[in-house]
Amino acid sequence: MVDDTATHVLQFVDALPDFEDRLVEEVQQYLHDTFVDTTWPQCPEHPNHPLWYSDGWWRCEQTGSAIAPLGGLGGKPSP
């Protein structure tokens, strides 16, 4: 899904930061819209809402605090 979305997004952007922003936004929106995970990525300070990506960082929308750069969020532990 991410590869397909990246291929699609590449058709509409000219610069790497624009590609990054749009790819993250579209993947997150897909996960929310299809109810795969409506809080992805989950805010560590407020687990009932997702973080939002802007300016290279995942941010808490309630506090505005930068939580982690892209790629800097820890994954779920494997069973």
Q: Phi/psi at 52 (nearest 5 deg)?
A: -125, 140
d(CA 70, CA 26): 15
* Ranges of each domain in the chain: 2-69
48-64, pLDDT tens digit by residue? 999 999 999 999 999 99
- What is the tens place of the pLDDT at every residue in 8-40? 999 999 898 899 999 999 999 999 999 999 999
Long-range contacts of 34-41, Cβ-Cβ distance < 8 Å, separation of 24 or more:
41/73
DSSP states of 11-73: TT-SSHHHHHHHHHHHHHHHHHHTTS-TTSSBPSS-TTSB-EEETTEEE-TTT--EEEETT-S
